[in-house]
A and B are shown apart, each in its own frame.
Chain A
């Protein structure tokens, strides 16, 4: 670790925590229906929207109606994105004349964007028309994020209300999230990104003849388009010459702002935020990194404000913060330490004023190690999935921490809304474990935690676990699964494990070494993403419905306070122990084996 590394981590979290509280309180006021300046400014649009859609804003929903509204709305989003992709060849705003997207890829992409995962088995600039990117993918960036936040607000109401059969109105929560929170923030960030050089236009791509043509190694493909291998099992390459460069254009800035703020992560361009038109400068990089964690961090304050005890929100934020800072620091340290094989052949990997040192493979020179590793850990903690470096090229330990952050269940900040409702489920499990220790009925925020809540909480933890392990097991046992792997051995296993961890927890980032655009991966990862999103939302809403019905119990001598350092320690322990017990064996076969074989 260098002084620069430490300073940048401190500045990043300093600015993040500074902004989290005011934004969190603003969001709480929006969700509580308070009439203040943004509502006075845009309330007319909100009411017009309700009238147009036939929504009765005063009507409350039971958890079942709320869940069915989430499902119906998401189904409509899925079909819109699927059809836009399948018909883009005959639709306007397609200056590159891209053909329609194949059915398996359209399925994968539609599920991916509807579930706020944004796993991408396509390259944006080589596959999607401007219409698909804007009307399909960008719109889902807003709506899937707003769905997650709406579900969280319903859960908060579950804790707050007493003897109530309802948990709010999904359409109202969704509309308010988009209108008062996501759209204004996205507008501000888009303009800032354009000021830094992120493109925003509808022009056709530019073709430029290179002054100095060059040759490069291109992956060799067979007739089916699958990578071919040499006798040792490594991917074969062939020489190719580059004489002309195509410079892509498009309405990128508007999509990138919400991609970061909504913890979506799907890049406008194939290499995501490593592309100079998506993330041109250190300032754009900082703003995009900040946007990844901004709403998830602020929602902790929203939670505290809505339940009337800011200390509860701070405790959850502290648990998230401590886990992330530790794993982020370890990741930066591992990358800064570099590759021992390079040291053995006399390559200097020390950080100096003239070089960043460490492992710079797969990283942009304009960002260096610390900004790449901060991004890699923030994006995997937050269910964002955007990248500004290629995680496949990280050192084994540098790559282990991002995978593990995903496998913890996307609750360390996590996705907008989904991260905090996931962490609340862990809080419920923590008070249950603590309750067992002292022999009392567990309580959280004055609500007794009983069998039903525990059954639902167990499902929320077990479903992603099963998806990751079953998916990885099928992939490594079938030809179709192994065909997509670029590297043999533990690293190849890590590529598959990462893909199913990412899909099975709705993260969306890729390790980058896996050829995912195949019938097998499009289908398997698509189903994983769907189940990971909706099979968790249903039990979470069921918990909300059950809690809303209960009366609040006054705190007694046997009540475990849930805002103290002791509870934060308990919570971190439960999160890490569940994560470690669930995934350590699979991590041992991938990144840990890779580490032990890499000469450390």
Chain B
């Protein structure tokens, strides 16, 4: 179930992964601006 402890932890891990991916991609915009 989504509410249990183990799943909350896994949800959190995937949240971190996706936020990390979007932030990294956003940084590419900054990077290419300077190339």
Contact = CB atoms under 8 A, between A and B. Distances in A.
Nearest to B33: A64
Nearest to A88: B2
Interface residues of A, number: 30
A539 B17 contact: no
A100 B1 CA distance: 7
A452 B35 contact: yes
Interface string B1-35: 11000010011011001100110011011001101
A5 interface: no
A100 B35 CA distance: 45
Contact of B10 (A104, A456, A527, A535): A104
B8 to A, nearest CB: 9
A455 interface: yes
Nearest to B26: A71
A452 B35 CA distance: 7
Contact of A103 (B10, B28, B35): B10
B25 A86 contact: no
B29 A64 contact: yes
A75 B14 contact: no
A456 B25 contact: no
A455 B28 CA distance: 13
Given A107-B17, A456-B32, A71 B10 contact: no
Contacts of A539: 28, 32
Contact of B26 (A68, A89, A102, A530): A68
A67 interface: yes
Contact of B25 (A106, A111, A534): A534
Contacts of B2: 86-87, 89, 100
Contacts of A291: none
Contacts of B17: 107, 523, 527
A455 B33 CA distance: 12
Contacts of A86: 2, 11
A538 B10 contact: no
A542 B32 CA distance: 7
B35 A531 contact: no
Given A86-B2, A100-B2, A103-B11, A535 B32 contact: no
Given A87-B2, A530-B21, A104 B29 contact: no
B27 to A, nearest CB: 10
Contact of B28 (A82, A527, A535): A535
A75 B18 CA distance: 9
Interface string A539-551: 1001000000000
Contact of B14 (A64, A104, A452): A104
Nearest to A111: B18
Contacts of B33: 64
Interface of A: 64, 67-68, 71, 75, 78, 82, 86-87, 89, 99-100, 102-104, 106-107, 111, 452, 455-456, 523, 527, 530-531, 534-535, 538-539, 542
Given A82-B14, A455-B35, A527-B21, 7 more contacts: A64-B29, A100-B2, A103-B10, A103-B13, A107-B14, A527-B17, A538-B32
13 contacts: A64-B29, A68-B29, A71-B25, A86-B2, A89-B2, A107-B14, A107-B17, A456-B32, A530-B18, A531-B21, A535-B28, A539-B32, A542-B29
The 6 closest A-B pairs by CB, nearest first: A103-B10, A107-B14, A542-B32, A534-B25, A538-B28, A86-B2
